[in-house]
Structure 1
Amino acid sequence: MTRLDPAALRAGTPGMRYARHFNAAGSALPSAAVLETVIEHLRLEATIGGYEAAEVARERHEQVYALAARLVGGTADDIALTESATVAWHAAMDAVPFAPGDRILASASSYVSSAIHLFRLRETYGVIIEVLPCAPDGTVDLEALEKALRAPVRLVTIAHVPTSSGLVEPVAEVAALANAAGVPLLLDAVQSLGQLPVDLAALGVDLAVGTGRKFLRGPRGTGLLYASPRIRELLRPARPDVRGAVWSSPDGYRVKDGARRFETWETAHALRLGLGTALREALDPGVDAIHSYTAGLAGRLKDALATVPGVTLTDPPAAGGAIVTFVVDREEPADTVRRLRAAGVHVTSVPDHHGRWDLGRRGLRSVVRASVHVYNDESDVSALTAALGRSGSAPAFVPSGSRADVIVVGAGVHGGAASWHLARRGASVIQLERFADGHHQGSSHGHIRMIRRAYPNPVWDELVDHAYLAWSELSEAAGETLLTTTGGLYARPAADGTPGLRGPACETVDAARAAQIFPGLRLGDEFTAVYDPAAGVLDAAAAMRALRSLAVAAGADRRTGVRVLGWEPDGDGVTVRTPDGVLRADRLVVAAGPWTGALVPSLRDLLRVVRIVNIHVGASDVARVSAPALGPFSVDVPGVGLLYGLPAFDGAALKIGLDHGPADDPDRPQTPVTAAEAAELLVLARRFLPAADGDVVDSVSCRYTMAPRNRFAVGALPDVPQVLVAAACSGHGFKFGPAIGAALADLALGKQRPDLDFLAPGALGTAP
């Protein structure tokens, strides 16, 4: 069992910044990763189309079934994904061949929607519904169940945990009795999946329903149905469609094997992918660890509530897990909910008509339900009990995390590195990113980038040295190699008299020598090249993942999907406006890539956003386009522009692109590489890379933010020194990412960096 890190889980849950959330049993707060998964797929659908996006995500969609099966102790064939637990319940129950007089045994813990459907089945088929009596501890009376099973029974159904309390039914014992009698058991696991360990196959449960929105922390609109192989042989879906059946002859169909026979074709793919992310997050520490933490915290909540005057706990003796129910003297539960919500504490009330067989039996008209999860901690318990103890209106909740030492805008390589360096030095950091992690709208996505020491102007040499050291430091912190040295060749027409690249240990070579260095690159005699033995390939995707995880681990408060509306100086600090509210900090770092001009008006006229496209080209002999036969390269092609490329690396095919492109609007979604754009690059690949004889196997578009003379702007704004920028990377900024992040941290924390004076924002457009 893995030990949970509640602080990290809390930091990764955006909703915990705005309230104390005790409603996991209603609709738990999703993590930032779940939110990003959903948004990213919706964006992909809007960009390339729903069917096309489904093809891209097919493997991840399939993995959701396997993940759900791991959670419940079955196989992927046992799982059907549905829009809700109620849809799953209906699909299962409507497939049972009920006949008049069939007996259904139901626990008093049954949910309202289940009970209503049972009544409908009684109206339709004439079945008999028998509500099982309860033992003194509130659970199903097992002796009464055993006795009831002596006569023919069509189905037994119980709720593992009801909606109206923290009761935990003895599923193993109920399943054993049902199995011994040869009667199927349908388990309502809606309130247990994600907070209680469940192994349906081992228990002998035939059918089970669950939802994504509760303790699994998945999106609303997701659910699942578990159907064992044994029960699937007996059930046929009442409303089959193309998802679960095959039109096998002109006048007939056959039902597919497995539980997917209960699904329908159309569904929200983005939500199901979000459910997959939520399932991974639950399985990572394990439900045992989640149960241990949440049950312990719920126990402490019970103890704390017992000390509040006028509060009465209402859970039966067999309660356990993450749910606690109570009432307040002389106050309707709905009023208690409103009062607590005004104090920023979110609970809910359960009326008796949502659980008449339970609450009615116990003489309760309604209860307040508080349910904890992994993002809750002792401070939430204290806040809840303190708010309950106040009379009258409680003071408004002040969102946590509205103040930091530094706010970083942007989560590209520079913003990510700045956040990590700042947080690891002890600064409180709020990082704001307008898109989901892994988006393709800016300049830091993609698998690989190049790094080189060769630069046209010696003024860059010291920063290049810092870059290599910074990549080594990041690799060590990440525990993986992020820079692979291959050497690089950078070619230009021999007749061109203007200065080219130069740098430490670099040498100028002719086309013949270039062919010896990189046999995979074909240069004519009209070219000369600079060989840089220190050049190499950066694993950009791994670097971005590392920066995100390292920043969070160091304490950075990362907030994705948050757009910055504007900022203003606030004394010696800064106020930042977002749709979620106002944030304040001593320093602001703007590393917003193509959106920098919109956020920093003084730079707007100096920055130009352009569209850049890259293609990956296959090769029949991959070794000829991989290191050492090929490394990073560029060729200044007369009449065309600067062609650049990277070798096949870590499973990705050879990558090439042109270092120029048309103007682009960053406020419009990035569009895929067109056939014409890919064809232009493929012609160049055939010319300079003879071994690149395959088709275009992948493509990606991105945005460069260009500045005069391809310079950067790194440092404080002249008129607002508490605001720092890292902007206008001009197509060659990724290689400096960790070094610029460290520099921004230095500057934000008061350390001078005279080595960066040549990149001062005030000099952009004027410096030589």
Structure 2
Amino acid sequence: MTESSEYVVIGAGLAGAATAWQLAARGHDVTILERTVPASHDGSSHGSARIFRYAYPDEFYTKAVIESKFLWDELDRASGLELITPFGAVDYGPERQPEHLARVLAAAGVEHELLSAAEARARWPHIAFDTSVLWHPGAGVIDAERSVNAMIDQAVTHGARLLTGWNVTSVDKRDSGYRVSSETGEEIDAGNVIVSAGGWLPGLLERLGLPAGFLAGLPEITVRQEQAYHFRYPESSGGEPWPTFIHKSAEIQTYGLPGGRDAGFAGQKVAEYNGGKFIPSAAAQTGTVDPENRRRVVDYVQKYLPGLDPEPYAETTCLFTNTPTEDFLIDRADGLTVLSPCSGHGAKFAPLIGQWAADLATGTGEVPARFRQATARIGAN
């Protein structure tokens, strides 16, 4: 017998878990289908360390972070957890434009300081700043895995069902909605489907029953296998936590943050932004670190992060699923909503992405037009 559900959410990463939470909290019948387990280690939402920050060159995103933080606080209250640990953030480098970022934060009313390189080096001598520096203390580190599980718990508390080990192979349009099928022959009929498959999305798109015009109007979706490395704090540091950072020069863009339990709380997690190789979809990931990327990041640490041991004591791979503009994808055709890719910066917006997706799927609200490129292109033709 084929089961049924009013809403089916495919994927239990940050975006999917947030959407399920929002839908279930509104009283809808929700089923969550997860290929393995929530916050799967071969997905994009695993581990304990993602940057939460307000600094964006585009004021739209800074305002969205402020809106998202209200929802993070709501989740903290509901779960009894502190899912964002405050560390503050420094932004610097000739291509990062700290002065512009400071103007955006000032306009949004976000606490910040603009420091000279010398002032910043005096405060954080373990970082070799090469330009003026934006500091904003409200930034921190998101525990991604605990956040996913907290949102899933809230969804289940409000009546949602979670089905794990459920690998979706197709979504077929029916007169009354959609039939979702798994590789083991299970089926669920749904009035509405929300697809939040992250790096698996490119391999699913042709099997979702999307209208041809909508499918053609979607932005290009690319997947990278990224690498991140953990560099040990020196014993002389006294355990003082480092801030998160984004450093952007003409040669390389890097980011770093306290590594959390991912690597024993012993060091800073450092990575090159979009430094990984392109792969067709998440199914093609190897989990093998690229030695050239390791060399670039080690060279960077030696030059710019003198306070760290330049030999990584742990390393890992992860997935970035990107659009060309790095805007999110939250769009809908008939009763099928497609959301993500989050382009390497979506974790901090997860509760808000869930709210936007739930609004769109239920028809009770709209999402920003920049996230609905396929719908916009159809309307323009």
TM-score scaled by length of structure 1: 0.44
Residue of structure 2 equivalent to 1:645: 256
Could you give the per-residue CA deviations for residues 207-232 of structure 1, whole angstroms, max 9, x where no partner exists?
xxxxxxxxxxxxxxxxxxxxxxxxxx
Alignment of 1:139-218 (within 5 A): none
C-alpha separation between the residues in 2 aligned to 1:613 and 1:470? 30
Structure 2 unpaired stretches of 5+: 207-214
C-alpha separation between the residues in 1 aligned to 2:71 and 2:129? 33
> Residue 437 of structure 1: CA displacement?
3.7
Q: Secondary structure at the match of 1:561?
A: coil
> Residue 514 of structure 1: CA displacement?
2.3
Q: Secondary structure at the match of 1:745?
A: helix
1:758 pairs with 2:374:
no
Whether contact under 8 Å (2:230, 2:313) holds in the other structure is yes
Matching residue within 333, 343, 368 for 1:730: 343
Matching residue within 137, 142, 148 for 1:533: 137
Residue of structure 1 equivalent to 2:211: none
Alignment of 1:394-409 (within 5 A): 398=1, 402-409=3-10
Residue of structure 2 equivalent to 1:412: 13
Alignment of 1:357-436 (within 5 A): 398=1, 402-436=3-37
Residue of structure 2 equivalent to 1:487: 88
Could you give the per-residue CA deviations for residues 468-504 of structure 1, whole angstroms, max 9, x where no partner exists?
1111111112211111222211112179799667323
Residue of structure 1 equivalent to 2:273: 659
Matching residue within 724, 740, 744 for 2:353: 740
> Residue 403 of structure 1: CA displacement?
0.6
Query: Cα gap change, 1:429/1:494 in structure 2, threshold over 3 Å: closer, same or farther?
Result: closer
> Residue 643 of structure 1: CA displacement?
0.6
Matching residue within 679, 682, 685 for 2:295: 679
Residue of structure 2 equivalent to 1:518: 124
Residue of structure 2 equivalent to 1:600: 205
C-alpha separation between the residues in 2 aligned to 1:497 and 1:531? 9
Amino acid at match of 1:654: Q
Residue of structure 1 equivalent to 2:151: 547
**Percent identical residues:** 27
> Residue 540 of structure 1: CA displacement?
1.7
Higher strand share: 2
Could you give the per-residue CA deviations for residues 587-638 of structure 1, whole angstroms, max 9, x where no partner exists?
11111101222333426761111111001111223746743xx211011133
C-alpha separation between the residues in 2 aligned to 1:764 and 1:685? 43
Could you give the per-residue CA deviations for residues 408-450 of structure 1, whole angstroms, max 9, x where no partner exists?
0111100011112222222111111222345322211122111
Amino acid at match of 2:13: G
Whether contact under 8 Å (1:572, 1:722) holds in the other structure is no
Matching residue within 160, 174, 187 for 1:582: 187
C-alpha separation between the residues in 2 aligned to 1:495 and 1:677? 21
C-alpha separation between the residues in 2 aligned to 1:679 and 1:457? 32
Whether contact under 8 Å (1:410, 1:434) holds in the other structure is yes
Residue of structure 1 equivalent to 2:196: 591
Which structure would you say has the larger RCO, counting Cα contacts within 8 Å and 6 or more residues apart?
2
1:707 pairs with 2:306:
no
Deviating runs (4+, > 6 A) in structure 1?
494-498, 763-766
Amino acid at match of 1:663: F
C-alpha separation between the residues in 1 aligned to 2:291 and 2:245? 24
Query: Cα gap change, 1:436/1:448 in structure 2, threshold over 3 Å: closer, same or farther?
Result: same
Could you give the per-residue CA deviations for residues 12-56 of structure 1, whole angstroms, max 9, x where no partner exists?
xxxxxxxxxxxxxxxxxxxxxxxxxxxxxxxxxxxxxxxxxxxxx
C-alpha separation between the residues in 2 aligned to 1:605 and 1:436? 28
Residue of structure 1 equivalent to 2:246: 634
Amino acid at match of 1:566: S
Q: Secondary structure at the match of 1:588?
A: strand
Whether contact under 8 Å (1:471, 1:738) holds in the other structure is yes
Query: Cα gap change, 1:725/1:419 in structure 2, threshold over 3 Å: closer, same or farther?
Result: same
Amino acid at match of 2:153: S
C-alpha separation between the residues in 2 aligned to 1:615 and 1:732? 18
Residue of structure 2 equivalent to 1:451: 52
C-alpha separation between the residues in 2 aligned to 1:413 and 1:447? 12
TM-score scaled by length of structure 2: 0.85
Matching residue within 290, 301, 305 for 1:689: 305
Could you give the per-residue CA deviations for residues 148-195 of structure 1, whole angstroms, max 9, x where no partner exists?
xxxxxxxxxxxxxxxxxxxxxxxxxxxxxxxxxxxxxxxxxxxxxxxx
Amino acid at match of 1:570: R
Amino acid at match of 2:246: S
Alignment of 1:45-124 (within 5 A): none
Query: Cα gap change, 1:512/1:648 in structure 2, threshold over 3 Å: closer, same or farther?
Result: farther
Q: Secondary structure at the match of 1:569?
A: strand
C-alpha separation between the residues in 2 aligned to 1:765 and 1:622? 57
Q: Secondary structure at the match of 1:548?
A: helix
Residue of structure 2 equivalent to 1:166: none
C-alpha separation between the residues in 1 aligned to 2:76 and 2:98? 40
> Residue 554 of structure 1: CA displacement?
2.7
Whether contact under 8 Å (2:328, 2:342) holds in the other structure is yes
Whether contact under 8 Å (2:48, 2:259) holds in the other structure is no
Residue of structure 2 equivalent to 1:23: none
C-alpha separation between the residues in 1 aligned to 2:270 and 2:29? 40
Amino acid at match of 1:742: Q
Amino acid at match of 1:583: I
Structure 1 unpaired stretches of 5+: 1-397
Q: Secondary structure at the match of 2:55?
A: coil
Query: Cα gap change, 1:498/1:512 in structure 2, threshold over 3 Å: closer, same or farther?
Result: closer
C-alpha separation between the residues in 2 aligned to 1:519 and 1:732? 27
Amino acid at match of 1:611: Q
Whether contact under 8 Å (2:88, 2:243) holds in the other structure is yes
Query: Cα gap change, 1:764/1:732 in structure 2, threshold over 3 Å: closer, same or farther?
Result: farther
C-alpha separation between the residues in 2 aligned to 1:479 and 1:765? 43
Query: Cα gap change, 1:700/1:481 in structure 2, threshold over 3 Å: closer, same or farther?
Result: same
Amino acid at match of 2:335: Q
Q: Secondary structure at the match of 1:596?
A: helix
Q: Secondary structure at the match of 1:423?
A: helix
Residue of structure 1 equivalent to 2:77: 476
> Residue 748 of structure 1: CA displacement?
2.2
Query: Cα gap change, 1:507/1:600 in structure 2, threshold over 3 Å: closer, same or farther?
Result: farther
> Residue 707 of structure 1: CA displacement?
0.5
Q: Secondary structure at the match of 1:705?
A: strand
Could you give the per-residue CA deviations for residues 313-351 of structure 1, whole angstroms, max 9, x where no partner exists?
xxxxxxxxxxxxxxxxxxxxxxxxxxxxxxxxxxxxxxx
